[in-house]
Chain A
Amino acid sequence: MAANEQLAMLVQPDRVHRAVYADPDVFDLEMERIFGRAWLLLGHESQVKKTGDYFTTRMGREPVIVVREKQITVLINRCAHRGAKVCAEGTGNTERFVCPYHGWSYDCGGALKAVPFESGYERKNLSELKLKPVPRVAVYRGFIFASLAAQGESLLDFLGNAKTSFDDFVDRAPGGELEVAGGVFKHVYHGNWKLMLENHLDGAHPAWVHASSVAVARAAPEPGAPGEERYADIAVRQMRQNGAPDSVWEAIGMWTTPRGHGYMGDYHSDDRLVAGMGSPVFGQYRNTLVKEHGEKRADEILRVTLWNTIVYPNCSFMSQFRQLRIIHPLAVDRSVVYTYSFRMPKAPAAMFRDTVAFANVVNGNGSWVLTDDLEVYERLQNGLASGEVDWVYIGRGYGRDVAERGATGTSEIYIRAQMKAWLSYMTRDA
C-alpha cells in the first residue's frame, strides 16, 4: 500500500484527491489507521444500565459487544475457539456469552468460563483464551467511546472543544438525564463514509439539495399557534428553515478542532423549531430547568443553539431534538448510518413526541429530506469514480479562517479540518 509520502500528496490545503473517497486500498488503510486508532463513539450508558446489559455494534469492520459488568467493557465479538460471533446481533441481558458452535462460554468481562470436552486440552493453553477486550474504553457525560489502539491520547484531549457540544446535549436535560428511546433508524447509502460527515456541516447545500422540500413546506399550512401545534408543524418548520436566506448561513458559527471535529451554531433558536418559549410544554420544560439551576443558568443553557456536531470519524449529533447518528463504513462506496433518539426522562413527556416527529421527517428512511441527501451522496460517489478528473475542491473560505473558526458559516473549514485529521491518522507511525 501507499507510502506515507504518497498519502500526503492526496490531501492539500484546499483540495483533496478523489482516491480519498474512491480507492478501495485507501479504504482498507482507513479501517486500520483511522477506525483502528481514533476514539469511536459506540453508544450511551442508558443502553447498558444494569449488570449484564449488552448491545452489539461495530468499530470500523470489527464486530464488538458493549456490555456492563462492574464497568462498561467492550469485547471483540469473536469466539477464541473457531472464530464464530459468540453474540447474535442486537441487545439483551446475560450472564454468559455462549458460542453457538461448540458451546464455549464467556462471562461479561470476556473470561472463558466453560469449554465442553475440556479434558482434551492442556489447561495452560486454555488459560490464555478469552473474548478479546478492546483496550481503551471511556465515558464522557454518559456517552461511551472506545479505541482499538492500546496507546493514545485521552478521550478529553481527543474531544477538545467538541466536548462543549456534549455538555450542551446533557445540560439541556433536566437532572442531566438522557436515555436512548423510540427505535433506531438504519439507512444505507451508496457512498463513502466521509460524505455524510462533510454534509452535516455544509450550510451551502440545503438550498439546493433540499429545494423541493423547502418549496413544498413554504406552501404548507401555517404551523399552529403556541398550544395548538399539530404533528406536521415540526416537519414544516424544519423544512422551511432549510430554505433560510444565504445571510443566515453566512452568519452561523462554524468551529473545528485539531482532531477533525466540527460544530455549527446559531442556525436555529428553539422558537424556530417548535412553538418555542410560547408553547406551554416548552414553558413547563424551562421551569424544570429553572427549578434545578435558577433563572440565569437555565437561560444560559437554553441560549446555546448549537446545531450539528461532528465527532470525527464516526458520529454526528444535535441536541435540540436529541438526535445522534453513528456511521459504519461498509466499503469504500457503501455506508450505513444508525440514528438514535434520546428522551429526557425528567422533561415533559410531550417533548419526546416532538423528538419523534422530528426524527421521522429528517432521519426516517422515508424522509424526503434525508432521501435527497442520500441521492446526492450516490451522485458524488459516481462522479468521483471518474478517473479523468483527480481533484475535489474544498477552497471556500480558505485563507480567511481565524484559528479554528470559519470566517463565515459557509467556510469549508470543516472539510479542511476533517482532511487534516485524516492525514494525521493515516500517516502517523502508531
Chain B
Amino acid sequence: MTPEQFLYHEAHLLDTQRYEEWLSLFTEDATYWVPLEPGQKDPHETSSLIYDDRTLLELRVKQFRHPRAHARAPLPRTVHQVGNIVVRDLLVTSTLAVVEFRNEKQKLWAGLVEHQLRRNSDSFRIARKRIDLVNSEGEIEGITILL
C-alpha cells in the first residue's frame, strides 16, 4: 500500500462509520491534533480545538457509540475529500474537505493535514495526525465529527 492509498483508506473508514477500525490505524503513542492557532507549535501551552492522546482518542470513539451522545445521535454522514497529497518519506501532507450532514444541516470543514506515518508490514500506522482547519480561529460551531 502506498501512503496515498493509505490516506484514501483512512477517509473511507470514516465515511463508512467504521470508527473502531479507523482508531486501530493509530499507534499506541499516537496524537490527534486540531490546533486552535495557525502554525501552533505546542499543544500544552496553547489550547486546541481537539488535542487527544491515544487514551482520549479511544474514549472519543467510544463516546460516538453511546446511545445518549446527543450531538452524535444520529451519527453524522460525511464525505472526506483528500487531495494534494505530498509524500516526503513518512511525513505526508494533504488537503482535506469534509462535507457533513446530520439533522437537516449540512456543514463544510476544510483544512491542511499532516500525517506522520510508521511502517506496519505492507501498510502504515498513524503516529501523529494534525488538521489545521482554515477557520480554526473563527466563530465556528461545535465539531462533532472525526476529521
User: Which residues of A are at the interface with B, using a C-beta cutoff of 8 A?
Assistant: 182-189, 208-209, 211-213, 215-217, 219-221, 230-232, 235-236, 336, 341, 352-353, 356-357, 359-361, 363-368, 370-372, 374-376, 379
Is B143 within 8 A of A372, CB to CB?
no
Known: A217-B59, A356-B47, A364-B50. A183 touches B140 (CB 8 A): no
User: B139 an interface residue at 8 Å Cβ cutoff?
Assistant: yes
B142 near A371 with CB under 8 A, answer yes
0/1 string, B1-35, CB within 8 A of A gives 1 = 00000000000000000000000000000000010
Q: Which of A217, A360, A370 contacts B142 (CB 8 A)?
A: A370
Using A211-B66, A371-B142, A371-B143 as known contacts, say yes or no to A364 and B44 having CB atoms under 8 A apart.
no
Report A369 CB to chain B, min CB distance, Å.
Answer: 10
Closest A residue to B50 by beta carbon equals: A366
Residues of A close to B36: CB separation below 8 A: 183-185, 364
Let me know if B141 is at the binding interface, CB within 8 A. yes
Contact (A235, B45) CB under 8 Å given A189-B142, A212-B69: no
Distance A230 CA – B44 CA, assembled complex (angstroms): 12
CB distance from B130 to the nearest CB of A (A): 13
Determine whether the beta carbon of B142 is less than 8 Å from that of A211.
Answer: no
Q: Is the CB of A372 within 8 A of B139?
A: no
Instruction: Tell me which residues across on chain A come within 8 A of B46, comparing CB atoms.
Output: 182-183, 356
* Tally of contact residues, B, Cβ under 8 A: 35
Nearest residue (CB) in B for A235 is B56
Contact A366 B56 (CB under 8 A): no
**Residue contact B45 to A376, C-beta cutoff 8 Å:** no
Q: Chain B residues near A187: list those with CB within 8 A.
A: 139-142
5 A-B Cβ contacts within 8 A? A183-B37, A187-B140, A216-B66, A236-B59, A371-B144
* Cβ of B106 under 8 Å from chain A: no
Q: Is the CB of A188 within 8 A of B49?
A: no
CB-defined contacts of A363 to chain B, threshold 8 Å: 47
B47 in contact with A189 (CB, 8 Å):
no
Least distance between A4 CB and chain B CB atoms (Å): 34
